[in-house]
Amino acid sequence: MTSQTSIVTPANPPRSALRATDEKSFAFTTTTVRWPVIITKIIDDVYKTRHELDPSIEFEKMKEGIDIMDSIALLKYEIQRKKPLKPIDDDGEPDVNTWIEVFNKYFKEENWHSAPWLFTECYLYRRTHSIFVRTKLWRNYDPFFRQKEDTFKASFVAIIELAKRIDGLISNPSVQGSDKRILFHELAQISLWGNATDLSLLTNLSHDDIKKLQGNAKSLEESEKNILVNDLEEVWGKLSHYQQKRIDFVLDNAGFELYGDLIFADWLIQNGYASEVHLHVKAIPWFVSDTTPSDFNWLLGVLKNDFFSSASSNEKLYLERLAKRWQGYVDNGKWILKSDYFWTSPYAYWHLKEQAPELFSDISKSSLVIFKGDLNYRKLVYDCKWPTTTLFKDAIGPLATEKGAPPILALRTSKADVIVGLPEGIEERLSASEEDWMFSGKYAVVQFSEGNRLN
């Protein structure tokens, strides 16, 4: 066990790291069971795309497709045989030197199980990216796009419901002050539970989930019971006092989760709680479902088009109105899309200021930075074995205390075996009846840190 006073590095987190060497951990299940499935799906996807090509004109792309499938299969083999990690090949990407450096400094002697899980998992997606980026004709290919698109299609019912809901809220400005508080809770929860659609856990929206997302008071109450710590009321108390009115989202998954986040962002703008929303997305395909700039543009595009063929003309109207308003935010600079390579780096967010000073000073200007989803949470708390009663502020380290640290809100459904900030007794109570409570995605935490503003 490392102590908090020694220097924190990717190989030496503030507590001992989650690792696949612990066979009872979710890190182990992920490494041995979930990754092989995820990787096999990449191969299937490339196979499908390749099959649709015309050999008389796309011969070279077909040939490259075979090489890609080969390299991906080799990657799977390395993982399953617990092979040593190797440096990322110099693929010319803007972040490749960081990866090579971190590898050489800390992980040269490690294998797929011995290195911290946070590193191996990020490294897996960076290795995958490298395979595509080193080709000529598949450089910009996203092997997860097909899955993202399918899940979005399947979320049709909830998408229409939310479009109607936000339309009603916006065209009815007579909602009283006290109701705004309830709406804030509702929309933040839509954004929170949207994360349950994460593709890497291979889950899909069930009919019940969809109903929960429709936002009636009863279902809201019900899902609220599964939020183990909820700081939303504290954030609500501050929201109307914000001077800057800039809110940032460090986004997570594309498709339905992104849609729910944008519904929330739309409401914040319409009600004057934010005048600008900065949306941080991933620069490369990441953890299967994460939003890239092209996923964001795709979403705006399909809402405008006839993507949902089964929608009635009335339903299409709601979507069109919403899409037009959202496109307007983008065009007028109210929604600002950003993708910094730090978010897909091997570093936990304890290193944000040190590794990405410009990004740090940028988010310092925000009134509230909302971190979505499980991986962002793992990176905030350094993915290590904190006692579950550790204060959130302690677990996010420098991001709570450093000069300029902005107010932070984590909206996280719990899908990994790390969680902090729980009241005494919760861990014991849940562990007694649900072995998988920490990583099943059933429970959530909503945690706030006020940061250390300059003024």
d(CA 376, CA 414): 11
195 forms part of the interface with Mn ion (CB under 5 A): no
CB 345, min distance to ligand F6P, A: 15
CB of 198 to Mg ion, least distance (A): 4
Q: Does the protein bind ligand F6P through residue 373 (CB under 6 A)?
A: yes
> Nearest-5° angle of CA 354, CA 126, CA 89?
95
Q: Rounded to the nearest whole angstrom, what is the least distance from the CB of residue 332 to Mn ion in the complex?
A: 29
- How far, in Å, CA of 299 to CA of 288, rounded? 17
Which CB, 375 or 400, lies closer to Mn ion? 375
Cα within 13 Å of Cα(308), Cβ side: 24
CA atoms within 13 A on the CB side of 24: 3
Task: Give the whole-angstrom CA distance, residue 303 versus residue 324.
Answer: 9
In angstroms, rounded to a whole number, what is the distance separating the alpha carbons of residues 99 and 188? 35
Nearest to 120 by CA among 3, 25, 5, 44: 25
Using rule CB under 5 A, residue 257 touches Mn ion: no
Residue 287 is a binding residue for Mn ion (CB under 5 A): yes
Q: Select from 285-293, 310-318, 344-352, 399-407 the region that touches Mn ion (CB under 5 A).
A: 285-293
Among 120, 253, 339, 413, binds Mn ion (CB under 5 A): 253
Of residues 17, 9, 6, the one with CA closest to residue 104: 9
Nearest position to Mg ion, beta carbon: 200
Q: Which is nearer to ligand F6P, 69 or 124 (CB)?
A: 124
Tokens 């905030």, residue located: 380
Q: Tokens for 86?
A: 């190797």
Q: With CB under 6 A, what is the number of residues at the site for ligand F6P?
A: 16
Q: How far apart are CA 365 and CA 276, in angstroms?
A: 11
Query: Which residue is it, tokens 């929608």?
Result: 311
Q: Which tokens hold the place of 264?
A: 């929330």
Using the contact rule CB under 6 A, the part of the chain among 6-14, 94-102, 198-206, 386-394 near ligand F6P is 198-206
Q: How far is Cα 88 from Cα 103, in angstroms, rounded to an integer?
A: 8
Closest CB to Mg ion among 130 and 253? 253
Nearer to ligand F6P by Cβ, of 201 and 319: the residue is: 201
Asked whether 79 and 57 are in contact (CB, 8 A), the reply is: no
Residue choice 416, 419, 420, 430 for contact with ligand F6P (CB under 6 A): 416
Q: Quick check: 421 binds ligand F6P (CB under 6 A)?
A: no
Considering the rule CB under 6 A, would residue 295 count as an interface residue with ligand F6P? no
- Segment interacting with Mn ion (CB under 5 A) among 70-78, 244-252, 276-284, 431-439: 244-252
Rule CB under 6 A: say whether 445 interacts with ligand F6P: no
Task: Kindly state the helix (H) or strand (E) to which residue 290 belongs, with its residue range.
Answer: none
Site string for ligand F6P, 258-287 (x = CB under 6 A): -----------------------------x
Asked whether 115 and 31 are in contact (CB, 8 A), the reply is no
Identify which range of 110-118, 245-253, 309-317, 398-406 contacts Mn ion by CB under 5 A: 245-253
| Smallest separation (angstroms) from ligand F6P to the CB of 437 | 14
Tell me which stretch binds ligand F6P (CB under 6 A): 150-158, 292-300, 372-380, 419-427: 372-380
Of 163 and 254, nearer to Mn ion (C-beta) is: 254
SS (H, E, C) 402-438: CCCECCEEEEEECCCCCCCCCCCCHHHHHHHHCCCCC
Among 110, 142, 198, 209, binds ligand F6P (CB under 6 A): 198
- CA Rg, the chain, in Å? 22
Q: CA geometry: angle at 448 spanning 445 and 453, to 5°?
A: 160
Alpha helices in 134-253 (DSSP H): 145-154, 156-170, 177-193, 207-212, 217-224, 232-239
CB-nearer residue toward Mg ion: 200 or 230: 200
Kindly state the smallest distance separating residue 286's Cβ from Mg ion, in Å. Answer: 8
Output the smallest distance, CB 381 to ligand F6P, in A. Answer: 12
Of the pair 125, 360, the CB lying nearest ligand F6P is at 125
Binding site for Mg ion (CB under 5 A): 198, 200, 287-289
Number of residues that bind Mn ion (CB under 5 A): 4
Structure-token pair, residue 383: 């993915």
Q: Report the interface residues with ligand F6P, using CB under 6 A.
A: 30, 121, 195, 198, 200-201, 252-253, 287, 289, 373-375, 378, 415-416
